[in-house]
Structure 1
Amino acid sequence: MLLWINGPFGGGKTQTAHEIRRRLPGSVVCDPEHVGFGLHRTLPPGLRGDFQDLASWRHGVVEVLDLALTRHDGVVIAPMTVTDSGHFAETVGRLRELGHDVRHFTLLAERATVLRRLRERGVGRLLGAVTSRPAPRGESWAVRQLDHCLERLAEPEFAEHLWTDHTTVPKTADRIAVLAGLTLRPNNEGRLRTRMRQVGVGLRHIRFD
């Protein structure tokens, strides 16, 4: 089974994916974004646009996830924002055509909630501490894409929708597991330990290019 976790940038996809992996034995996170980063790094900076527009990204993601789903004995989790209908068909749709059991979920939240989460991410605090200035907010790529993401991802084609404004990452993981017919290990962490682990996940996913 593939769990594709969609949602706006800063919407909690990566945290939720790693929460499920932590509590679901045998599961793995295969992040399609890493394929895009590799493609970007092979191009001159001036030619780097949205890597999802590259056919090589779409085909590569399908090839990699197809291999993981075929050869790995466990659930595969892919946290990735996809808002374009054509790109969605060429990735999620193509994997379904290949016979894989793909469960797609979109994490949604109100605009103010996502903006608050972006401000609170470990990367923003780290940059602020290093530069003695607030981290970029309004100018950031994630914020510029937010309204488009929220509008597109609310469309029926991107169901199943899960609203996360008033829930936690562990509870969101629980909801996905129930909907997918999976059983997660109980979440026995305290709030402080959960927060520290989530900060660690955020720091490991900071991009520097």
Structure 2
Amino acid sequence: MLIWINGAFGSGKTHTAFELRRRIPDAHVADPEVLGFALHRMLPRAAHGDFQDLPQWRASVVDTLQHAEAAHPGPVLVPMTLVRDDYFDEVVGGLRARGVDVRHYALTASPATLRKRLNTRVPFVPAGLHRESWAIEQIPRCVTALAQDRYATHVATDEQTTDEVVEWIAQDAGLTLVAPRLAPWRYQLRRLSVGIQHIR
């Protein structure tokens, strides 16, 4: 199956996906953002903008994720914010139309929680980093869109730890977690490592 982990920026998509991968030995993380940045590298700066607006990004995400799900014996984990209704229908709906078993989860949180998380993502990233500032500006749009029934299943994260979110999704999707929770200090080190790897 394919587990799509949606949510506003700062909702915990990436950490949830990588913790699921750690605890499920045969899980694979497939990040559509990688395709977006590859397209940006191929295009002139004037054509950059939001890569989700590129039809070739949306088409390649469907093709690539269908191939990944068919080729991989375990669950494929997809951490990606997708909040435009037409794009959601094109990508997630397109995968389902091709017979891919997509389990969609939208991690939700209040705007205040999201702002706090974005402002404390990685301690040594300079304040006002463009990407973080842009992500904070997207909070109202993302929160409003993801509240719709279209984006169920919703997983409230304001009062839940990453471990609790991971365990809830695994139980709902019928996945067996093999590895145990990490000790708090090891979890913080891993969280920092994942955060550093995903600074764009």
For Structure 1 versus Structure 2, the TM-score category normalised by the shorter chain is over 0.9
Point out where structure 1 has 5 or more consecutive residues left out of the alignment: 129-133
Alpha-carbon distance, 1:139 to partner: 7.6
1:44 is aligned to 2:44: yes
Q: Which residue of 1 aligns with 2:82?
A: 82
Q: Which residue of 2 aligns with 1:131?
A: none
Match of 1:171 among 125, 140, 164: 164
**Shift in CA distance, 188/13, structure 1 to aligned 2, threshold 3 Å:** closer
**Structure 1: how far apart are the matches of 2:130 and 2:120?**
11
**Shift in CA distance, 118/139, structure 1 to aligned 2, threshold 3 Å:** closer
Aligned-partner SS, 1:113: helix
**Structure 2: how far apart are the matches of 1:49 and 1:190?**
41
Match of 1:161 among 143, 154, 160: 154
**Structure 1: how far apart are the matches of 2:141 and 2:117?**
17
**Shift in CA distance, 181/187, structure 1 to aligned 2, threshold 3 Å:** same
**Structure 2: how far apart are the matches of 1:21 and 1:92?**
21
Alpha-carbon distance, 1:186 to partner: 4.6
Q: Which one-letter code corresponds to 1:80 in the other structure?
A: M
**Structure 2: how far apart are the matches of 1:44 and 1:19?**
36
Q: Which one-letter code corresponds to 2:58 in the other structure?
A: R
**Shift in CA distance, 174/3, structure 1 to aligned 2, threshold 3 Å:** same
- What's the CA shift string for 1:25-84, capped at 9, x where partnerless? 211000011111111111222221111111100110011111111111111000000001
Q: Which residue of 1 aligns with 2:6?
A: 6
Point out where structure 2 has 5 or more consecutive residues left out of the alignment: none
- Provide the aligned C-alpha RMSD in A: 1.5
Aligned-partner SS, 1:199: helix
The alignment-based identity, stated in percent, is: 46
CA contact (8 A) 1:2 1:101 kept: yes
1:28 is aligned to 2:21: no
Alpha-carbon distance, 1:137 to partner: 8.0
TM-score by length of structure 2 reads: 0.96
**Shift in CA distance, 137/165, structure 1 to aligned 2, threshold 3 Å:** farther
Q: Which residue of 2 aligns with 1:146?
A: 139
CA contact (8 A) 1:137 1:143 kept: no
Alpha-carbon distance, 1:135 to partner: 3.7
1:196 is aligned to 2:189: yes
- What's the CA shift string for 1:90-147, capped at 9, x where partnerless? 111111111111100000001111111111111xx2223xxxxx34489811011111
**Shift in CA distance, 205/190, structure 1 to aligned 2, threshold 3 Å:** same
CA contact (8 A) 1:31 1:78 kept: yes
Alpha-carbon distance, 1:188 to partner: 3.5
**Structure 1: how far apart are the matches of 2:130 and 2:48?**
21
Aligned pair count reads: 200
